[in-house]
Amino acid sequence: MNIGILAHLLGYLPYEQLAAKVAANGFRHVQLALWKAISDFDFSKPGQLSPGLAQSIGEAFDKRGATVSVLGCYLHLFDRDEEQLRLNRERFKELLRHARHFGCTIVAAETGGPWNGTPSEEEWKILRSTLEQLAEEADKWGVRIGLEPANGHLIDTPVVLKRMLDEVTSSSFGVVLDPGNLLTSANMGAQNEVIEEAFRLLGDRIVACHAKDRILMSNGQIVTVAPGAGQMNYELYLQRLEQVNPGAPLIMEAVNESDILSSRSYLEELQGQLAKDSLMR
């Protein structure tokens, strides 16, 4: 298993310092969200990124034994404000154009929110149009778009994501899977079925995965915690991931610097045990 981390969890820093900190913490790859992680350039609007800058950032990680496995793109993809939506599309397209200069072939995104209901037909059409435009751009540059279903977003479940993938038929789309983003107070008791459904519907499209954990509190509230510190069935999750995409990037979330080591050790030990069990069958 190839375990990495969201780069911005290690700080908002100049990229050379960030790359050094990633390496000092023993990670071989990161998901890099430029405007959340890198402080020495303003990536809040399109136009700042260039092939040379992207290559310099990628090389800063590479020379320290790490890579940018995924570019993160936290943007609202069905915004009703036409100018804001245009800006968001351009920022996403810029990442697609320059991804390979980072040494990366995946740009990951949730679809936008907060969302607390069934999408209107208009919002669905706006999102579909956005994804069609992004797919066309991704095709030009040989880059994959990793769509992530997440509670609170328009695409919030594997069923909804499967519907969109059926409507926008492009090989440029892959899936970033995070079971923690699918678990709620209503379905936590059926989490095995939630995980199995996600792999059944989306397993053949997975390009990367996230790792965080969830706890259902006695008051019914769901709390997000570091991998291994909650109640999620990680054994089932990692078993299914190994079956459909062994070696896929697994990117840790919801950790701070005090629990990075314990969370990574938990994932590595579980992986080792699962590999041992597989050999004994």
Where along the chain do its domains lie?
A: 2-280
- Mean pLDDT along residues 73-88: 94
**Cα 228 off chain centre by:** 19
C-alpha dihedral (252, 258, 259, 264), degrees to nearest 10: 60
Percent residues over pLDDT 90 in the chain = 91
Cβ partners under 8 Å of residue 184, min gap 6 = 151, 222
**HSE toward the beta carbon, residue 19, CA cutoff 13 A:** 18
pLDDT for 119 equals 72
Quote the CA–CA distance of 102 and 97 in Å, as a whole number: 11
pLDDT for 148 equals 98
Query: Three-class SS of residue 207?
Result: strand
Task: Give the residue among 54, 211, 44, 32 at the shortest CA–CA distance from 108.
Answer: 32
Task: Give the residue among 46, 41, 70 at the shortest CA–CA distance from 58.
Answer: 70
Q: How far is CA 54 from CA 10, 41, 234, in A?
A: 20, 11, 35
Fold of the CATH domain 2-280: TIM Barrel (3.20.20)
Task: Give the residue among 95, 96, 39, 30 at the shortest CA–CA distance from 65.
Answer: 30
pLDDT of 117 higher than 70: no
Q: How far is CA 255 from CA 65, 66, 177, 202, in A?
A: 22, 19, 18, 26
- Mean pLDDT along residues 206-231: 97
Quote the CA–CA distance of 194 and 210 in Å, as a whole number: 16
Quote the CA–CA distance of 53 and 50 in Å, as a whole number: 5
Q: Using 50, 70 and 90 to split pLDDT, how confident is the model at 161?
A: very high
pLDDT for 279 equals 78
Quote the CA–CA distance of 131 and 125 in Å, as a whole number: 10
- Mean pLDDT along residues 42-65: 97
Least confident of 106-120, 189-203, 208-222, 261-275: 106-120
pLDDT of 118 higher than 90: no
pLDDT for 277 equals 82
pLDDT for 114 equals 58
State the average pLDDT for the chain.
95
- Mean pLDDT along residues 105-129: 86
Query: Three-class SS of residue 115?
Result: coil
- Mean pLDDT along residues 80-109: 97
pLDDT of 278 higher than 90: no
